Structure 1
Amino acid sequence: MESVDLDIRDWVATITLNRPAKHNAMTPEMSAQLVSHVLACNDSAEVRVVVLTGAGERAFCVGSDVKDLDRYPEPWSFRNRTDYVDALRLLRKPLIAAVNGMAFGGGLEMTLAADIRLASTTSSFAAPEIKLGWVGGGGVAHALSHSIGASNAAIMIMTGDAVTAQQASQWGLVSELFAPDHLLPGALVLARTIASRAPIAAETAKLNLRAAFNMTRDMAFAYERELQTICFATHDAAEGRAAFKEKRAAKFEGR
């Protein structure tokens, strides 16, 4: 049964795209489930970090199920659909993509929506829409060019051909490569490390990093100072200072 699964433990939510027989291709129903999970994670004090991965060994996600695209009666309804990439951008918590196979089309865009991208050595990445007569609509041009540079992004978007995990790592599309059976455990170790930090500061760091792409240098400097001041006023910041002085581990509560 096609689904998007949610598991929460140790402050970490794992969202799994669970349609392995179809390479985790997304349907409108799965998009709605993903939106629901994202909103639940935003509202839950038990979630500090989210890991996104795909079920099975072959694919992370190959984007929208092309057969489902004919369900939209006209381009305007397609344009106004519930979009799974937009859903991920609603997430306030840090997001780690654990790319366990093919990340094609919308799957590549989902990867790019993550704050941190990890991948298996057998993964691959592509923006293949041009081979079907269109281009991606989930922000791929902006996100990919900022990630790997305009020329490399042009190669991927204009040819539609896949690049290997090793090439993706060389270009900076992913931060680290793992053997397939070590990918999710590695992602969870990193997630738990981030989850052990002050959660308000972690969410603020995400805001700061995203804003830095859209601001001038001086505006980014000023915005960062204001975010620092907000964090400095929290209970967790006081706890961090106290723990440092008392030479003990801080106990952050997200307030």
Structure 2
Amino acid sequence: MDVLLDVAGPVAVITLNRPAKLNAITPEMADALRACLDRVDADPAIRVAVLTGAGERSFCVGSDIRELDAYATPWEFRNRGDYGDAVRALRKPIVAAVNGYAYGGGLELAMACDIRLAATTATFAAPEIKLGWIGGSGQSALLAHSVGPGNAATMLLTGDPIDAARAKDWGLVTEVVPPDELLPAVRELAGKIAARPPIAAQTAKANLRAAYAMPLDQAIQYERDLQTVCMATADAAEGRAAFAARREPVFEGR
């Protein structure tokens, strides 16, 4: 199978499993990835997802270029099911474990995740310009938000890769670790997030996404509305009771 789903307790690990092709995504893989994400969203026992690539060389190098000529018309290409959209649509938190090349659509996949950790061997690039096109899954907007307009322009206009250390300096990733420590570090982070109340975690994610798109006054009001929703949950009542009793809370997603 070219996309694997491994669920261990509240954490689901989704692995792009085509290492011989650097985890380049075919239309069939995109469909399988969407199916995995749908399962993660639908299962209340799963609280956090992790996205990574198989092998030591590549996280994902985007779409398999050999498949692009299979679209009959530009309009069919325009309206294809986009795997970056599918990751961004996930309600639950998702962490990228970037183990190697994150190029093109693979860069977009990583940026579609909420948090990115990288191996020291990881590199990041928007190489589409070298082939005559640009990214199409939010690459420019997501890069500008992550690394700033000037750094984004450097990546978009040259197509050249940056290494993991520079990606961290620019804010594209939050942590860089040796390759053999990457998945343990990501699992530890995912476990920490999974221990938080799931409604509040999903609300925090939705609020952060909205903050990018709203004027400040609207963003603050939206945050206050979402806070009110969270305060009405059983988990928030449990949090207050546990604080008063000086015990660890038990959150059930209610």
Superposed pair shares fold, TM > 0.5: yes
> Partners of 1:169 and 1:188 in 2: how far apart?
19
Aligned residues: 254
Alignment-derived partner of residue 107 in structure 1: 106
Tell me which amino acid in the other structure corresponds to 1:89: R
Tell me which amino acid in the other structure corresponds to 2:5: L
The structural deviation recorded for 1:112 is 0.6
> Partners of 1:35 and 1:110 in 2: how far apart?
12
Alignment-derived partner of residue 120 in structure 1: 119
The structural deviation recorded for 1:48 is 0.3
The structural deviation recorded for 1:46 is 1.3
Unmatched tracts of structure 2, length 5 or more: none
**How do residues 171-186 of structure 1 correspond to structure 2 at under 5 angstroms?**
171-186=170-185
Unmatched tracts of structure 1, length 5 or more: none
Tell me which amino acid in the other structure corresponds to 2:30: S
Tell me which amino acid in the other structure corresponds to 2:10: W
Percent identity over the alignment is 60
Contact 1:58 1:100 in 2 (8 A): yes
Alignment-derived partner of residue 17 in structure 2: 18
> Partners of 1:82 and 1:138 in 2: how far apart?
11
> Partners of 1:36 and 1:90 in 2: how far apart?
12
> Partners of 2:19 and 2:45 in 1: how far apart?
28
**How do residues 45-84 of structure 1 correspond to structure 2 at under 5 angstroms?**
45-84=44-83
> Partners of 1:247 and 1:6 in 2: how far apart?
37
Q: Does 1:33 align with 2:32?
A: yes
Q: TM-score, normalised by structure 2?
A: 0.99
Alignment-derived partner of residue 216 in structure 2: 217
Alignment-derived partner of residue 253 in structure 1: 252
**How do residues 157-168 of structure 1 correspond to structure 2 at under 5 angstroms?**
157-168=156-167
Contact 1:10 1:192 in 2 (8 A): no
Alignment-derived partner of residue 225 in structure 2: 226
The structural deviation recorded for 1:9 is 1.0
Contact 1:108 1:126 in 2 (8 A): yes
Q: Deviations over 1:119-173 (max 9, x none)?
A: 0000000000000000000100000001100000000000000001111011010
Tell me which amino acid in the other structure corresponds to 2:57: R
> Partners of 1:254 and 1:99 in 2: how far apart?
29
Q: TM-score, normalised by structure 1?
A: 0.99
Aligned partner of residue 5 in structure 2, secondary structure: strand
Alignment-derived partner of residue 188 in structure 2: 189
Contact 1:105 1:128 in 2 (8 A): yes
Contact 1:94 1:203 in 2 (8 A): yes
The structural deviation recorded for 1:73 is 1.1
The structural deviation recorded for 1:82 is 1.2
Tell me which amino acid in the other structure corresponds to 1:29: E
Contact 1:49 1:194 in 2 (8 A): yes
